[in-house]
Amino acid sequence: MQRTLLRELNRQLGKRVKIQGWVNTVRDQGAIKFLLLRDVTGMVQVIITREFSQAFSAAQDLTLESVVEVLGRVKEEKQAPGGFEVLAEELQVLSSAAGKVPIPVVEKGTEEASREKRLNWRWLDLRKPEKRLIFQVWTVMEHSFREYFINQGYIEIHSPKLMSAASESGSELFEVDYFDRKAYLAQSPQFYKQMAMAAGFEKVFEVGPVFRANPSFTSRHDTEFTMYDFELSFIDSHEDVMREAEALIAQMLKTVKERFGEEIKRVYGRELIVPEIPFPRLTMREAKRILRGLAVPSDREGDLSPEEERALSRFIQEEKGHEFLFLTDWPAEVRPFYHMRLETDPTLTKGFDLLWNGLEIITGSQREHRYETLAKQAEGEGIDLQSIDKYLEFFKYGCPPHGGCAPGPTRMLMKIFNIENVREVTYIYRGVKRLTP
Amino acid sequence: MQRTLLRELNRQLGKRVKIQGWVNTVRDQGAIKFLLLRDVTGMVQVIITREFSQAFSAAQDLTLESVVEVLGRVKEEKQAPGGFEVLAEELQVLSSAAGKVPIPVVEKGTEEASREKRLNWRWLDLRKPEKRLIFQVWTVMEHSFREYFINQGYIEIHSPKLMSAASESGSELFEVDYFDRKAYLAQSPQFYKQMAMAAGFEKVFEVGPVFRANPSFTSRHDTEFTMYDFELSFIDSHEDVMREAEALIAQMLKTVKERFGEEIKRVYGRELIVPEIPFPRLTMREAKRILRGLAVPSDREGDLSPEEERALSRFIQEEKGHEFLFLTDWPAEVRPFYHMRLETDPTLTKGFDLLWNGLEIITGSQREHRYETLAKQAEGEGIDLQSIDKYLEFFKYGCPPHGGCAPGPTRMLMKIFNIENVREVTYIYRGVKRLTP
CA-based nearest residue to A90, from A40, A19, A25, A23: A19
Q: Are A278 and A324 in contact (CB under 8 A)?
A: no
Interface test with A, best of B397, B399, B422, B428 (most A CBs within 10 A): B397
Q: Does A258 touch chain B (CB under 8 A)?
A: no
Contact residues, chain A, for B150 at CB < 8 Å = 139-140, 143
Interval A159-188: pLDDT, tens: 999 999 865 566 799 999 999 999 999 999
**With an 8 Å Cβ cutoff, are B201 and A40 in contact?**
yes
d(CA A127, CA A105): 7
**With an 8 Å Cβ cutoff, are A397 and B102 in contact?**
yes
Instruction: Say if residue A154's pLDDT is above 70.
Output: yes
**With an 8 Å Cβ cutoff, are A196 and B67 in contact?**
no
Residue A363 has what pLDDT? 96
CA-based nearest residue to A45, from A86, A106, A92, A8: A86
**With an 8 Å Cβ cutoff, are A39 and B200 in contact?**
yes
Interval A115-139: pLDDT, tens: 999 999 999 999 999 999 999 999 9
- Under the banding of pLDDT at 50, 70 and 90, the label for residue A220 is confident
For residue A132, give the nearest of B178, B195, B200 by CB distance: B200
Residue A81 has what pLDDT? 83
Q: Are B328 and B281 in contact (CB under 8 A)?
A: yes
**With an 8 Å Cβ cutoff, are A123 and B179 in contact?**
no
Interval A39-65: pLDDT, tens: 999 999 999 999 999 999 999 999 999
Q: Nearest-CA residue of chain B relative to A195?
A: B123
Q: Are B406 and B206 in contact (CB under 8 A)?
A: no
3-state secondary structure chain B: CCECCHHHHHHHCCCEEEEEEEEEEEEECCCEEEEEEEECCEEEEEEEECCCHHHHHHCCCCCCCCEEEEEEEEEECCCCHHHEEEEEEEEEEEECCCCCCCCCCCCCCCCCCCHHHHHHCHHHHCCCHHHHHHHHHHHHHHHHHHHHHHHCCCEECCCCCEECCCCCCCCCCCEEEECCEEEEECCCCHHHHHHHHHCCCCEEEEEEEEECCCCCCCCCCCCEEEEEEEEEECCCCHHHHHHHHHHHHHHHHHHHHHHHHHHHHHHHCCCCCCCCCCCCEEEHHHHHHHHHHCCCCCCCCCCCCHHHHHHHHHHHHHHHCCCEEEEECCEHHHCCCCECECCCCCCEECEEEEEECCEEEEEEEEECCCHHHHHHHHHHCCCCHHHHHHHHHCCCCCCCCEEEEEECHHHHHHHHHCCCCHHHHCCCCCECCECCC
Q: Does B410 touch chain A (CB under 8 A)?
A: no
Q: A-B interface: how many C-beta pairs under 8 angstroms?
A: 251
β-pair partners for A90: A71
CA-based nearest residue to A403, from A242, A186, A192: A242
d(CA A374, CA A376): 5
Interface test with A, best of B92, B140, B158 (most A CBs within 10 A): B158
Output the CA–CA distances (angstroms, integers) from residue A137 to A229, A324, B155, B189, B344, in the order listed: 19, 20, 9, 21, 42
Q: Nearest-CA residue of chain A relative to B96?
A: A398
**With an 8 Å Cβ cutoff, are A95 and B398 in contact?**
yes
For residue A435, give the nearest of B155, B156, B162 by CB distance: B162
Percent of chain A exceeding pLDDT 90 equals 89
Interval B29-72: pLDDT, tens: 999 999 999 999 999 999 999 999 999 999 999 999 999 999 99
Q: Does B390 touch chain A (CB under 8 A)?
A: yes
The sign of the dihedral angle between the CA atoms of A416, A422, A423, A427 is: positive
How many angstroms away from the CA of A101 is the closest CA of chain B? 6
pTM value > 0.90: yes
User: How much is the ipTM here?
Assistant: 0.96
Interval A371-429: pLDDT, tens: 999 999 999 999 999 989 989 999 999 999 999 999 999 999 999 999 999 999 999 99
- The Cβ-side half-sphere exposure at B79, using a 13 Å CA radius, reads 4
Q: Are A271 and A265 in contact (CB under 8 A)?
A: yes
For residue A98, give the nearest of B203, B394, B397 by CB distance: B397
The letter for the amino acid at A264 is: I
Contact residues, chain A, for B154 at CB < 8 Å = 139
Pick the CATH number of B129-425 from 3.30.360.10, 3.50.50.60, 3.30.930.10, 2.60.120.10: 3.30.930.10
Q: Does A47 touch chain B (CB under 8 A)?
A: no
Locate the domains of chain A by residue range.
6-95, 129-425
Q: Does A160 touch chain B (CB under 8 A)?
A: yes
Residue A258 has what pLDDT? 98
Residue A107 has what pLDDT? 66
Contact residues, chain A, for B369 at CB < 8 Å = 95
**With an 8 Å Cβ cutoff, are B95 and A395 in contact?**
yes
d(CA A168, CA A229): 14
How many angstroms away from the CA of B175 is the closest CA of chain A? 6
Residue B106 has what pLDDT? 74
For residue A143, give the nearest of B139, B146, B400 by CB distance: B146
* Phi, psi dihedrals of residue A125, rounded to the nearest 5°: -60, -40
Residues of chain B below pLDDT 70: 107-110, 166-170
In the predicted model, what is the mean pLDDT of residues A273-292?
97
Output the CA–CA distances (angstroms, integers) from residue B98 to A294, B102, B129, in the order listed: 52, 10, 22
Interface test with A, best of B123, B147, B150, B370 (most A CBs within 10 A): B123
Question: A6-95 has which CATH code?
Answer: 2.40.50.140
β-pair partners for B75: B85
Instruction: Say if residue A191's pLDDT is above 70.
Output: yes
Q: Does B159 touch chain A (CB under 8 A)?
A: yes
- Under the banding of pLDDT at 50, 70 and 90, the label for residue A108 is low
Domains A6-95 and A129-425 share a fold: no
- Within its chain, how far is the Cα of B298 from the centroid? 29
d(CA A287, CA A289): 5
Percent of chain A exceeding pLDDT 70 equals 98
* Phi, psi dihedrals of residue B78, rounded to the nearest 5°: -55, -35
Residue B367 has what pLDDT? 98
The widest CA-to-CA distance across chain B, in whole angstroms, is 86
Q: Does A422 touch chain B (CB under 8 A)?
A: no
d(CA B194, CA B399): 9
How many angstroms away from the CA of B113 is the closest CA of chain A? 17
